[in-house]
Amino acid sequence: MSLAAPFPYFGGKRRAAPRIWQALGDPSGYVEPFAGSAAVLLARPPFTGRRVETLNDVDGWLVNAWRAIQLSPDAVAAAAWGPVAEIDYHARLAWLQQRRTPDLVAWLEGDPEAHDAKAAGWWLYVLACGIGDPFGPGPWRVVDGHLRKLPHLANAGKGVNRELPHLGNAGQGVNRELPHLGNAGRGQLQAYMRRLADRLQRVRITCGSWERVVKPSVTRSGTGGDGTRAIFLDPPYATSGDLYAESSEGVAEAVRAWCLTAPRDLRVILCGYDAEHDALLAHGWSVTEGKAGGGAGYSVNPTNGRRERLWLSPACIGSEQPSLFPLAA
């Protein structure tokens, strides 16, 4: 069952998912070290039996959202549901940003079931309401239980500091519901969260930097599937800037360097822009062209998609035939 991601996300790979699964097959062990909206895992072709699947991301609130959907879907739906109101948006975002501390990641790392359903619902609400970058600090703070706007903030236009668009326009734009839900009411939202929880039932959800989940102890496969192990690597592109909540400087380069050392039997796909990872081609990798992103992303630049590439390790299905994935229209 293919499911839509529950939030729009910069760099979401929903459109590329069919190509990716064509190249990965039905791996017994599958890891997404840069999970984001998990658009690829959610689009995996149906299978029966057990697979070992792992989602990871360095962003604590993002991982909390996935854990909470997995373990407490009804509570997440209850916290996420509600009409869009600018004041609630600012209050929830300020509440989340004040708790985005190193302790958040340490807490998620320390207990595989640690999650906060209310925070997850609020985080989904903020991502569904916000247009643009919701991760900047902005001027709003909760001080002694009251929402206060800090004066003289330098980074105008970032995060909650920007005006919400179209507020005068009968709520058009910010008034969209959680993505893919149409005019969903509370019951539909709950049903959707339960479907996501079913899909995630056996998925390991970890928080931390990517290097920790590309080790053999994590990629190790189960008994089902075609006996292979696969890793889908979608790091922030070197050209992305600060799109995400955590700094991503140097990550794409480090991932490419790791790819050169990856076991030959591992099916690995690495995403990037233009010729970013062409150094891999001299080592038996191949590259595909075309739109990798999805309609649920934030990108306002329609040409970005055409610059996206997938680099396939030699063990991928069809990696010896680059024409398998012709340039998208």
Ligand X SMILES: C[S@@+](CC[C@H](N)C(=O)[O-])C[C@H]1O[C@@H](n2cnc3c(N)ncnc32)[C@H](O)[C@@H]1O
Binders of ligand X among 217-236, rule CB under 6 A? 234-236
Using CB under 6 A, which of 3, 6, 8, 11 touches ligand X?
11
58-66, 82-90, 110-118, 138-146 -> range binding ligand X (CB under 6 A):
58-66
Quick note: the x/- pattern for ligand X over 13-42, rule CB under 6 A, is x-------------------xx-xx-xx--
Q: Which of 59, 116, 133, 177 binds ligand X (CB under 6 A)?
A: 59
Closest CB 244 distance from ligand X, rounded Å: 4
Please tell me the distance from the alpha carbon of residue 71 to that of residue 250, in angstroms, as a whole number: 33
- Looking at residue 110, the DSSP 8-state letter turns out to be H
Nearer to ligand X, 100 or 176 (CB): 100
Judged by CB under 6 A, the stretch of 4-12, 134-142, 156-164, 260-268 that binds ligand X is 4-12
CB of 8 to ligand X, least distance (A): 9
116 binds ligand X (CB under 6 A): no
Token pair 């959202």 is found at: 65
Asked whether position 8 contacts ligand X by CB under 6 A, the answer is no
Q: Which residues contact 168 (CB under 8 A, 6 or more apart)?
A: none
Report how far residue 314's alpha carbon sits from residue 164's, in angstroms, rounded to the nearest whole number.
Answer: 46
Nearest distance from C-beta of residue 128 to ligand X, angstroms: 15
**By CB under 6 A, residue 57 contacts ligand X:** yes
Among 182, 205, 199, CA closest to 73: 199
Kindly report the CA angle at 219 between 297 and 307, in degrees rounded to 5? 30
Phi, psi of 233 (to 5 degrees): -105, 115
DSSP string, 201-232: TT-EEEES-GGGGSSHHHH---SSTTS-EEEE
Considering only CA atoms, give the Rg of the chain.
20
Binding site for ligand X (CB under 6 A): 9, 11-13, 33-34, 36-37, 39-40, 57-59, 62, 209-210, 234-236, 244, 246, 248, 251
